[in-house]
């Protein structure tokens, strides 16, 4: 994942950002497709990369092309499509869970105050699910970019993002997503969520 560009409202205006934060934003990414060459053609990988660079979910056309190019790794594409289409409600459920456990987090003095910080958090939930759907669509449960996550960790530290709440949100995204999938698919799908949960949880101890 690439964080939204500095021209978007993901973070405070450019004039309020430190040079360190500006640099970290450009380097923080969740996903890497570097190890996918054994399962996907260059054309297929390019579809994933283009979507990630644009910070977009894969479109129906994208998914159809991926299925055509890599039919042996396309079994879970319908799940990626389902989660994309239900992303808003999945994120809403995750937000509600975070607010239920941390009711003061959006109040003055809380980790997601003022409201701009809370909105940034919910947008990150949306991006977390987006990146998970890439892994699912590609059949790769280990889809993260260690270097990009390192810079994301530094960025979160710099911005004092409440990691425990973010991890809870990601776990809630997993629960909300799996309950929308067929019961016989849930065991197969869980590792795609667990992989990112584990990565994000390590941010707490660094």
Task: Please list the alpha-helical segments (H only) found in the chain.
Answer: 19-27, 42-53, 60-69, 77-85, 87-101, 115-138, 146-159, 163-178, 183-201
**Angle, CA 35 vertex, CA 4 and CA 58 arms, to 5°:** 45
Average pLDDT, the chain: 91
Comparing 3-17, 98-112, 120-134, 142-156, the range with the smallest average pLDDT is: 3-17
Residues whose CB is less than 8 angstroms from the CB of residue 33 and which lie 6 or more positions away in sequence, other chains included: 40, 45, 48, 49, 52, 138, 143
Q: Rounded to whole angstroms, how far apart are CA atoms 144 and 136?
A: 12
Taking only the tens place, the pLDDT of each residue in 85-117 is 999 999 999 999 999 999 999 999 999 999 999
Residues whose CB is less than 8 angstroms from the CB of residue 156 and which lie 6 or more positions away in sequence, other chains included: 163, 166, 203
Structural tokens at position 68: 């055509």
Least Cα distance to 31 among 10, 53, 59, 9 occurs for: 53
For residue 8, pLDDT beyond 50: no
More confidently predicted of 4 and 18: 18
What's the pLDDT score for residue 21? 92
Tell me the pLDDT band of 205, cut-offs 50, 70 and 90. Answer: low
For residue 15, pLDDT beyond 90: no
What's the pLDDT score for residue 73? 87
Q: Rounded to whole angstroms, how far apart are CA atoms 194 and 34?
A: 20
What b-and-e string marks burial along 145-154, b requiring 16 or more CB atoms within 10 Å of the CB?
Answer: beebbebbbb
Taking only the tens place, the pLDDT of each residue in 138-173 is 999 999 999 999 999 999 999 999 999 999 999 999
Dihedral Cα 47, 33, 37, 85, nearest 10 deg: -50
* Backbone φ, ψ for residue 144 (5° rounding): -85, 165
Q: Rounded to whole angstroms, how far apart are CA atoms 170 and 165?
A: 9
Q: 3-state DSSP call for residue 147? A: helix
What's the pLDDT score for residue 4? 33
Residues whose CB is less than 8 angstroms from the CB of residue 90 and which lie 6 or more positions away in sequence, other chains included: 83, 129, 173, 176, 177, 180
């Amino acid at each position: 994942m690439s964080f939204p560009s500095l021209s978007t409202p993901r973070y405070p205006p450019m004039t309020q950002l430190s040079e360190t934060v500006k640099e970290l934003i450009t380097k923080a990414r969740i996903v890497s497709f570097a190890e996918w060459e054994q399962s996907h053609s260059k054309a297929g990988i390019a579809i994933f990369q283009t979507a990630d660079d644009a910070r977009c979910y894969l479109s129906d056309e994208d998914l159809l092309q991926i299925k055509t190019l890599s039919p042996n790794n396309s079994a879970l594409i319908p799940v990626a499509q389902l989660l994309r289409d239900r992303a808003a409600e999945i994120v809403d459920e995750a937000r509600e869970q975070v607010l239920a456990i941390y009711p003061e987090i959006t109040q003055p003095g809380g980790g997601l105050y003022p409201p701009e910080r809370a909105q940034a958090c919910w947008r990150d939930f949306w991006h977390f699910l987006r990146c998970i759907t890439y892994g699912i669509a590609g059949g790769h449960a280990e889809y993260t970019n260690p270097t990009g996550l390192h810079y994301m960790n530094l960025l979160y530290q710099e911005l004092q993002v409440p990691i425990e709440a973010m991890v809870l949100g990601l776990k809630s995204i997993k629960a909300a997503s799996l309950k929308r999938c067929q019961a016989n698919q849930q065991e197969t799908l869980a590792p795609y969520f667990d992989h990112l949960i584990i990565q994000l949880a390590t941010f707490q101890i660094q």
